[in-house]
Structure 1
Amino acid sequence: SIPFFACELKTVKPYKRGFFCGDSSITYPHKEKEIALAECYCVRSRRVNSRAFIRNPYISSLYKELGSFLFGCCIGQSLTNMAKLSVGRLRPYFLTVCNVTYESLNCSPGDYVYSVKCNCTPKEEEEARKSFFSGHASFAMYTLLYLAFYLQARFSWRGARLLRPLLQFLLVMLAVYTGLTRISDYRHHPSDVLTGFLQGGITAYWV
């Protein structure tokens, strides 16, 4: 999709949004190391010539489900990249990674700062302008909720009535935990994560 390649090829820069002097939501520390989920997907298609592969009902069903899943991944990633590039919301650690303070900007509380010269690499500054919305929260909610829906449709073993809802609950809780870590690591604002949850959940339900 266009937003996906625009983000990956760096052909479009994120919108340079300003901020209000004294805004404490963008002064949090920057944690260098993180365990990141994959936010980009490269799908290499291969031609399947085996008739046995196509005629096998289980393999055929799995093949269709995988195609739907990857389609949803592309949709979700495109929406995420489009939002990050067009909104340009500053991450909670923006001023820290830019190595500037409100004192050095010589501004009064409440004044709007239209631009700032960051003392960091261009890549770090671009990344600090992509807070909205959380791709990790969106991807986690989409994949795990999609799997929960899959269990709802395919899991037919009646030996344990509570096993399926328990697995579904654990999957959703894992997605929520992933989003919450983005807040505790100062990578996103709470509203970024909430929007990511909504986008991922809606995409999973739609697909």
Structure 2
Amino acid sequence: MSGLRPGSVCDTTPLQRFESQSSNGEEPSSPTAASLVAAAASSTASTMPHINNNNNNNVKVDLQLPTFVGGPGNGVGSAASIVTKTRHQRGTSQIFRRIFLDLCLLSCVGLPMLGFSLWWEPYKRGFFCDDTSLKHPYKESTIRSWMLYLMCAALPVIMILVVEFFRAQDKRIRESYIGSKHKANHSAYHLCHLELPNWLLECYRKIGIFVFGLGVEQLTTDIAKYTIGRLRPHFFAVCQPVLPDHTTCDDLVNVGQYIENYTCMATDMTAKRFKDMQLSFPSGHTSFACYSMIFLVIYLQRRMHWSGTKMLRHLLQFLLLMFAWYTALTRVSDYKHHWSDVLAGAGIGLTYAIVVTSTMW
């Protein structure tokens, strides 16, 4: 015992035997977790007396782990490879598959609407000759169809594109200011080896939800129109009905009678105009305008959060609501609908706008 130098080890540890096998060219046995733990415990135990007896000496225990620890097989490397692989899996085929699926869902709403417009006939409702609510003059619409499509279809799409683009720019500026490395403006979708920006994906989602809600709202309106078949307030001015016995509502014999069998004798009467004359309830213009404008109002409230734009946001919301309100009023003043038709159309548009926007974020 006196011949031993301080700090020497009488026997080799499992880790030293592992290293000696490697230096002699022998094929070392595969290291296991148990052997590594035993090696660390043995090395620590052998140096403990030396540490206790020589407190002034600095002792370093260098335990080198095999090179396979921290290599490609560990959790970090595999997770990174999975993330990279996942990002590149969403390529062109996945994008077109998603678009095709969305178009199929939209066709479930659009095809019935097309069927109503082309082939379905509304319920033929009768009338009383002394019904004054049907004797209003015919007037052209104040809000024409092209104006309605421009304000309620094109404008929402443009506003969503603008808001999402500037949201992405504002977020990029703030992240560059604070030095953040998080790529919030990038997505995992690649089209022809080009990564699509995240704001473009957000536009696709928001516009897709808007269009689907619009289709459902219009389909609901058409179902009510063709089921009820209510006559418009300008019915007598447009139709000029004549009974099978060649009498009209001017004859006293027809006063108080409910007439279902009649023929329109107006010279400019066409099948399309006769069909439209029976689609008063509910108001399609009102439901369209209320849905689109209220959708935009809620969208701006939730997505337009730039500093210094609260007054501008509220001004835009006021103008949008006023357009919906004005459209509803003109449908009554133009004698296109009864007031109850407008009220029902506004209720349909409001309901779908709230439902769709509540599930969008």
Partner of 1:45: none
Q: Secondary structure at the residue paired with 2:123?
A: coil
Indicate the residue corresponding to 1:115 in structure 2: 261
Higher relative contact order (CA 8 A, sep 6+): 1
Helix, strand or coil at the partner of 1:80:
helix
Secondary structure of the residue that 1:28 maps to in structure 2?
Answer: coil
1:182 is displaced (CA, Å) by: 1.0
List per-residue Cα deviations over 1:167-191 (Å, max 9, x = no partner): 2122111101011111111111111
Matches within 5 A, 1:3-18: 3-9=112-118, 11-18=119-126
Superposition pairs for residues 66-85 of structure 1, below 5 Å?
66-85=207-226
The 5 A counterparts of 1:185-204 are 185-204=334-353
User: Which is further off, 168-177 or 27-36?
Assistant: 27-36
Q: Equivalent residue for 1:21? A: 129
Q: How does 1:1-207 map to 2 (within 5 A)?
A: 1=109, 2-9=111-118, 11-32=119-140, 35-36=144-145, 37-38=148-149, 49-50=191-192, 52=194, 54=196, 56-100=197-241, 102-104=249-251, 106-109=253-256, 111-119=257-265, 120-207=269-356
Deviation at 1:7, TM superposition (A): 2.0
Structure 1 residue 121, shift from structure 2 partner: 2.2
Q: Secondary structure, in 3 states, of the residue corresponding to 1:102?
A: coil
Quote the offset at 1:113 in angstroms.
1.6
Q: d(CA) in 2 for partners of 1:83 and 1:163?
A: 38
User: Are the counterparts in 1 of residues 141 and 331 from structure 2 also a CA contact under 8 Å?
Assistant: no
SS at match of 1:91: coil
What letter corresponds to residue 6 of structure 1 in structure 2?
Answer: G
- Between the aligned partners of 1:53 and 1:114, the Cα distance in structure 2 is 63
Cα deviation code 1:26-45 (max 9, x no counterpart)? 11111256622349x9xxxx
State the shift of 1:164 in Å: 2.3
The structural deviation recorded for 1:49 is 3.4
Q: Which runs of 5+ in 2 are unaligned?
A: 1-108, 154-189, 242-247, 357-361
Per the TM alignment, residue 5 of structure 1 is displaced from its structure 2 partner at its CA by 1.8
Q: 2:294, 2:321 within 8 Å by CA — same for their partners in 1?
A: yes
Shift in Å at residue 141 of structure 1?
Answer: 0.7
Give, in angstroms, the shift of residue 12 of structure 1.
1.1
The match for 2:28 is none
CA distance 1:50–1:94, shift in 2 (3 Å): farther
In 2, distance between residues paired with 1:74 and 1:199? 12
Given that 2:140 and 2:334 are in contact with CA atoms closer than 8 Å, whether structure 1 keeps it comes out as no
> 1:180 and 1:27, CA in 2 relative to 1: closer, same or farther beyond 3 A?
same
Residue pair 2:232, 2:336 contacting (<8 A) in 1 also? yes
Q: CA RMSD in A?
A: 2.3
Listed as ranges, the gaps of 5+ residues in structure 1 are 42-47
Report the AA paired with residue 229 of structure 2: G
- Tell me the number of residue pairs that the alignment of Structure 1 and Structure 2 aligns: 197
In structure 2, give the amino acid aligned to 1:184. Answer: S
Contact 1:3 1:82 in 2 (8 A): no
Measured after TM superposition, the shift of residue 112 of structure 1 is: 1.6
**Conserved? CA contact 2:126–2:258, under 8 Å:** yes
Are the structure 2 counterparts of residues 53 and 148 from structure 1 closer, same or farther at C-alpha, using a change threshold of 3 Å? farther
Letter in 2 for 1:27: K
How far does residue 21 in structure 1 lie from its aligned partner after superposition? 2.7
Taking structure 1 as the reference length, the TM-score comes to 0.86
User: Residues of 1 paired with 2:120 and 2:252: CA distance?
Assistant: 28
Instruction: Look up the equivalent residue of 1:103 and give its one-letter code.
Output: D
> Judging changes above 3 Å, is the alpha-carbon distance between structure 1 residues 165 and 102 closer, same or farther for their aligned structure 2 residues?
same
What is the Cα deviation at residue 104 of structure 1? 4.8
Seen in structure 2, the aligned counterparts of structure 1 residues 49 and 185 have a Cα distance that, compared at 3 Å, is same
